[in-house]
Amino acid sequence: MLILQGILRAATTIGGGTNKKTGEVTPKRNVLQVETIDGRGLVKMDTITVPELGTFPDKVGSTVNIPVRAWAPGNAQIGFVFEAQQGTSA
């Protein structure tokens, strides 16, 4: 397991509704936006879907530690996915 540490910039629910052209229903999802600094010293923003927002909205503007696992489709940039820990909640 990896820990993504950064400043929490947003904790909100997005999506939901129906696509007018296709009729496809878009489910709502809870997301966090975490600001980090990359190896070059540049700001990077990661958006991570989480099962529940829990107490994250109260932590906006604070440094947070998010349990994640890394993934990269093909040769794309590495992304992070929330990884639930056993016995704990978000």
pLDDT, one tens digit per residue, over 33-67 is: 999 998 889 999 999 999 999 999 999 999 999 99
d(CA 7, CA 23): 37
Question: What pLDDT score does 89 carry?
Answer: 53
Which pLDDT tens digit goes with each residue over 22-40?
A: 989 889 999 999 999 988 8
For tokens 């936006």, name the residue: 33
CA dihedral 75, 78, 82, 85 (to 10 degrees): 100
pLDDT for position 66: 94
Beta carbons within 10 angstroms of residue 75's beta carbon = 5
